[in-house]
Structure 1
Amino acid sequence: MLTIYHNPRCKKSREGFELVKESGQDFEVREYLKEPVTEEELSELLEQLGMAPIELVRTDEKIWKENYKGKDLSDDELVRVMVQHPKLIQRPIVVKENKAVVGRPATKISDLLG
C-alpha cells in the first residue's frame, strides 16, 4: 500500500495525488497539516527518502525566513522544527514499502510507482 503525505492546498501536492490516484494502486492519504507527523515518523520518512532534514525544509516559507534562516540547527532540531511547523515540510511525499520520494518534480513519483 502507498501512502501520500498531502496538502490539498498545494498545486504540486495535488499533481502528485493525481499521479498516485491514476496508478490504480491502493493508497492512503495523510493530510499532515490536519494530522501532524511525530518526530519518530518524520525521522523514519527522512531515512526512507535518503535525505538530510535540511533538504526536506521549505526554506522559502515565511515561518522559516522569520524564525530559523541563518541559524545553525542540528538535524534533531530541524526535525523538531518541521514537526512544530508542518507547513515547512516539502510535499508531496509518497511512500511505497521502505522507499519514499518527494514529488518535486512529479516524475519522481512515477519512478517510484513503476
Structure 2
Amino acid sequence: MGGEQWRTGRRARRRWSSGCRPDHRADPSCRHLRFAAVTPALYFSPSCSKCRTAQSILDEHHVEAQVVRYLDVPPTQQELKRLMALLGIDDPRQMMRTGEALYAELRLQDATRDELLDAIVAHPILLERPIFVCGDRAVIARPPERLLELL
C-alpha cells in the first residue's frame, strides 16, 4: 500500500500520506491527515471473474466495500452521472461495454450522452465492470489490480 497506513473506526476511514512522520500520526491536527467518511463501493457482477478477483484483492487488503450488484438494482441516470464525475470522464462510452452485442443491436454508436445513459439504465449489462469507488475517485478495475490506485 505504498507506505500508507489505514485506521478504521465505526463511521470513518482515515489515511495518512507517506509524507507524514510516524510521530505525527497520533496528532489529529497534522496537516497530512486526509479524511474520507464514505464507505468504498464495488460495482459487482458475481458471474464476472474480474469482479471476483477485485473482491479478493479488497479482502486481502482488509478493505470493507459495499458490494453494488448493479444488474439486480440498475443505477439511475443521476448515479451514472456521479460515477462519470468520479471516474473523470465526459463520454459514457468510456464506462460502457461497447463490445457487447446489445450495444450494436441498440445502435448506440451515434447516440447522445443522455441516450447512452438511458441505455445503461435500461440495460445495466452495458456498464463496464468492476468499478471501484473510494472517496471522491473511482476506477474501472480492468485489470482488477487498478483498484489498488485508490487504496
* Normalised TM-score (structure 2): 0.70
Give distance in 2, aligned partners of 1:42 and 1:69. 17
Give distance in 2, aligned partners of 1:20 and 1:76. 33
Match of 1:60 among 77, 80, 99: 99
Give yes or no for the alignment of 1:26 onto 2:64.
yes
Give distance in 2, aligned partners of 1:93 and 1:107. 12
Q: How many residues end up aligned between the 2 structures?
A: 112
Runs of 4+ in 1 over 3 A off after TM superposition: none
- Greater helix fraction, Structure 1 or Structure 2: 1
Amino acid at match of 2:113: D
Give distance in 1, aligned partners of 2:116 and 2:98. 12
Q: CA deviation at 1:27?
A: 1.4
Is the 2:71–2:124 contact (alpha carbons within 8 Å) kept by the matching residues of 1? yes
Q: CA deviation at 1:26?
A: 2.3
The equivalent of 1:79 in structure 2 is 117
Amino acid at match of 2:116: L
Amino acid at match of 1:98: D
Query: What SS is found at the alignment partner of 2:42?
Result: strand
Is the 2:108–2:116 contact (alpha carbons within 8 Å) kept by the matching residues of 1? no
Amino acid at match of 1:83: V
Deviations 1:8-50 (A, max 9, x none): 1011111111112222122110100011111000110011001
Unaligned runs of 5+ in 2: 1-38
Unaligned runs of 5+ in 1: none
Give distance in 2, aligned partners of 1:3 and 1:57. 18
Give distance in 1, aligned partners of 2:59 and 2:72. 20
Query: What SS is found at the alignment partner of 2:133?
Result: strand
Query: Between the two proteins, what is the percent identity of the paired residues?
Result: 35
Give yes or no for the alignment of 1:43 onto 2:87.
no
Query: What SS is found at the alignment partner of 2:74?
Result: coil
Q: CA deviation at 1:7?
A: 0.5
Give distance in 1, aligned partners of 2:142 and 2:114. 24
Give distance in 2, aligned partners of 1:25 and 1:17. 9
